[in-house]
Structure 1
């Protein structure tokens, strides 16, 4: 799937603007950004709930607005306009079998039985955790190539969350299907994604491949004699945390040459810390920057 120069305007205000990225088969990709950054609008636009104001969305080089049959390749449940509340699980099953021609009914029934979900249950009477689990069952059974999952771990207890993650990993691993997941649960997200797309300023600002990031990036805690941040650090790092003279900074491209240059600054402390997806979020989306002070 290719997202090219996609813009969506609502009430004469651009919500997402000039968004560009691609999704390959077999990937699990995280979409991270602050509240109101446009994640849900992007999902709704990809799924066809909103018309494009500019740009193109294509699957196999075919624009989905011109070839609507490709919408069968996209699974998305809009939480705000969640029509599932009106139906039993049996009726929802019938609707999704009609919507997705490759719907795997055997997998659906087997997984429902495994997790103790009777078909005569009313969706709206289920706990939030069971609703989350059920939506993941629907997503997997749909056999859609691209799963757009908006906060799939929100409000789930530890046991249900593990079931949801297990379902996703077990069924996507060998099927060459792709999941794009928006979540504020960065600790959970980090354990399952291959890439992280950072949405900021109405667009995708960065596309991180986590394997490459772990190889090349470092989180360093530094203390200098002066409260002034050396120009070298401002040039090469993003701030994760600052307290007095203590800096915790993210260096996305850290090599031996940079390490030697930092050593020549003679810091009182230079200590490497474990790097997490949460650090990436804070370094890119915190309002504070190293240019202060």
Structure 2
């Protein structure tokens, strides 16, 4: 069990993360989503001990990684912004991680490099952005660390490679009960992969839920009214996702029989449910009035 307990982080004079608390069980895949600059990468760096905490604890099975330093090898995170080995070959990088992670499997790394036509004597800096991302995943898998922190792992990957990466990750989760904490702006790729979603906004985790649970309580409705006027009900109890003339798509986080009755009382020409996606939840929780203007 990985436990993040009341984590706080300040950089300079700015508070980036405040009172971040959650748990992750073995074999669980969590998606960490938020707007640009919300602090997602900072949170991963804090968990991986790349940043010192201002307050809070990182625990594995109830034991602090600050008091038992060996526990840090249970967590894998590669910070591409501060790589010191860009001039090294893939083989040399693997040797470095083999020394750092007791369970690192060099033979597995070499087999995966060959499978994806990566040459072990090639320098990291010579790889394309997508191939660097693929190599980072191969490193993570080969580390055999129980907790993998993946920051935008699908960025730069083409569709075929991306699907293969997802297959590799899911195989690791199912076979070895490894846990993934993933940040990504590619919500389409992320949605079918994750068990839970954490939404990070204004320094805090504002939502922690499973998508299927959300779908039990929420509704995304396409509603056609007889006029172009937007009912105050939609603004008060929902989030308007889209408007095109008299056609409105509205997300209601808490859809009750009472609310359904109020919508019916508007006498809409059409009212039908649409599938709720992770992108809908992202937009409903993280967009502001200034992000878009609705013309009616």
Alpha-carbon distance between aligned partners in 2 of 1:244 and 1:200, rounded to the nearest angstrom: 31
Once the two structures are TM-superposed, the CA of residue 226 in structure 1 deviates from its matched residue by: 6.4
Find the counterpart in structure 2 of residue 178 from structure 1.
Answer: 179
Preserved CA contact (<8 Å) 1:130 1:160: no
Find the counterpart in structure 1 of residue 162 from structure 2.
Answer: 161
Show CA shifts across 1:262-285 (max 9, x none).
223323332212221111111111
Find the counterpart in structure 2 of residue 197 from structure 1.
Answer: 198
Matched residue SS, 2:175: coil
Residue 247, structure 1, aligned to residue 248, structure 2 = yes
Residue 30, structure 1, aligned to residue 41, structure 2 = no
Preserved CA contact (<8 Å) 1:88 1:122: yes
Query: Residues 1-293 of structure 1 correspond to what in structure 2 (within 5 A)?
Result: 1-224=2-225, 225=227, 227-231=229-233, 233-243=234-244, 245-288=246-289
CA gap of 1:19–1:242, structure 2 versus 1, over 3 A, is farther
Unmatched 5+ stretches in structure 1: none
Show CA shifts across 1:216-272 (max 9, x none).
3221122444624233x4443233224555432222233445433422332333221
In angstroms, what is the RMSD of aligned CA positions? 2.0
Once the two structures are TM-superposed, the CA of residue 97 in structure 1 deviates from its matched residue by: 0.8
Once the two structures are TM-superposed, the CA of residue 44 in structure 1 deviates from its matched residue by: 0.8
Preserved CA contact (<8 Å) 1:147 1:180: yes
Matched residue SS, 1:174: helix
Alpha-carbon distance between aligned partners in 2 of 1:84 and 1:270, rounded to the nearest angstrom: 57
TM-score under structure 2 length normalisation: 0.91
Preserved CA contact (<8 Å) 1:133 1:163: no
Preserved CA contact (<8 Å) 2:47 2:58: yes
Larger CA deviation: 154-163 vs 46-55: 154-163
Alpha-carbon distance between aligned partners in 2 of 1:281 and 1:80, rounded to the nearest angstrom: 26
Once the two structures are TM-superposed, the CA of residue 174 in structure 1 deviates from its matched residue by: 2.1
Matched residue SS, 2:240: strand
Alpha-carbon distance between aligned partners in 2 of 1:258 and 1:84, rounded to the nearest angstrom: 57
Matched residue SS, 1:173: helix
Show CA shifts across 1:189-237 (max 9, x none).
0121111111111111101202212333221122444624233x44432
